[in-house]
Amino acid sequence: MALVGDDVTLSYDTKQLKNISEETVEWSRTDLKPDLVHLHDDRQTFYKLQNPAYRGRTVLSEEDLERGIISLRLSRVRLADEGNYTCLFPSVHNQYTVQLLV
């Protein structure tokens, strides 16, 4: 749960116990169009594909990726940010959904 204006971190432990910073990681919300919240691939973030409501407000922790954990920090939470976020980790055909309450 987060308050409007707070920063919040959504995390998923892949249990990979290895550096996944060069892997593809996608956070999305299927109720939005475009649905992409954050896209990371090979140590790069692709902001141009991101839903405009999230531009400049998301950061993926490189330090956590090096430990096999996918942590997305969402800054300046808005009421409209409430919803289900899906983390897709294609290299192991895995996905995780977390609900953010505001």
- Is a pLDDT exceeding 80 seen at residue 17? no
- Does the structural domain 8-100 have CATH classification 3.60.130.10? no
Report the alpha-carbon distance of residue 46 to residue 40 in Å, rounded.
6
DSSP tag of 63: H
pLDDT tens digits, one per residue of 21-67: 888 999 999 999 999 999 999 888 898 999 999 999 999 999 999 99
Tally of CB atoms within 10 A around 73: 16
For tokens 């892949």, what's the residue? 14
Domain boundaries, the chain: 8-100
